[in-house]
Amino acid sequence: MDVCHDALSSDEREILQEIMNIAFGKAAADLAEVINIFVVLSVPLVEVFKARTLPEYLTEQVSDYDRISILEQNFWGDFKGSAFMIFHADAGRELISIFGEESEVMGSYSLDTLERETLMEVGNILIGACVGKLAELLGDMVTYSPPRVITNNTPQDAFPENSFDDDATAIVLKTVFRFNERNTEGLLFLVTSHDSVIWLKKALAAFMEQYE
């Protein structure tokens, strides 16, 4: 994997990780208000490398899953890129039970449709909270494209090798999330675009100036 140590300094990576901690804590609180279940988020990890290696990286991250479901959503602003939520393929059905009232809606929708709609609802809340708060802390505002859900795919087929620009730099912000007292977890990746690198470095510097 082509690691890009010079894209962000060690201090910048540390600051970004701390800001992510704040943003993802806000996301957990927002989601808990909707479904009344606390979401446990791991300490986020910041990694930087060439975007062309992203398919390999993402596949490795979910290699323990035989089949996966993915929610992808793009976000736009000075801070822009793509968010990927990755679940085990069975997670959609488990999430339906978390939201409740399964029996009341099953008559109107197929199980596959319910799973997709539930994944989109959870994804909209979690991605919106994480990205929105992260952008806010860095002095930006973002908009979102409609989410795209791909269900029941193999990790090897989920990320085509030509998915990302060969010359782009990827800053990957990763966390593992788990619904408290439920056997449901997943991975959240925020992948910023190459255009965001220069802006991000300036935004991180401005953020730290508040505390000097």
pLDDT tens-digit readout, 101-145: 444 544 555 667 777 888 888 788 788 888 888 899 899 999 999
Which of 123, 135, 33 is closest to 84 using CA atoms? 123
DSSP 8-state class, residue 210 = T
Residue 5: its pLDDT value, please?
46
Contact 79, 134 (CB under 8 A): yes
d(CA 72, CA 187): 12
Residue 171: its pLDDT value, please?
80
Residue 183: its pLDDT value, please?
65
d(CA 20, CA 48): 15
H or E stretch covering 58: helix 54-61
Coil, strand or helix at 28: helix
Residue 73: its pLDDT value, please?
92
Q: Is 4 inside a domain boundary?
A: no
Q: Is 1 inside a domain boundary?
A: no
Residue 203: its pLDDT value, please?
92
H or E stretch covering 205: helix 196-209
d(CA 111, CA 167): 41
d(CA 117, CA 164): 27
Q: Is 3 inside a domain boundary?
A: no
Q: Which residue has the tokens 């990694």?
A: 47
Beta bridge partners of 47: 172
Give pTM, 2 decimals.
Answer: 0.80
Contact 69, 149 (CB under 8 A): yes
Q: Could you give the number of structural domains in the chain? A: 1
Residue-range definition of the domain harbouring residue 56: 10-209
Residues in the chain: 212
Q: Is 115 inside a domain boundary?
A: yes
Q: Which residue has the tokens 């099953």?
A: 106
Q: Is 126 inside a domain boundary?
A: yes
In tens digits, the chain (212 residues) has pLDDT values of: 454 545 788 888 888 888 888 887 877 777 677 767 777 778 778 888 877 788 888 888 888 888 888 888 999 999 888 888 888 877 777 777 766 544 454 455 566 777 788 888 878 878 888 888 889 989 999 999 988 888 777 877 777 666 666 667 778 888 887 776 666 778 888 888 777 888 888 999 998 887 76
d(CA 194, CA 18): 21
Q: Residue 23 sits in a domain of what CATH number? A: 3.40.1550.10
Residue 212: its pLDDT value, please?
62
Residue 3: its pLDDT value, please?
47
**Conformational region of residue 39, where left means phi above 0, alpha means psi within -120 to 50, and beta covers everything else:** beta
Amino acid letter, 143: T
Residue 102: its pLDDT value, please?
47
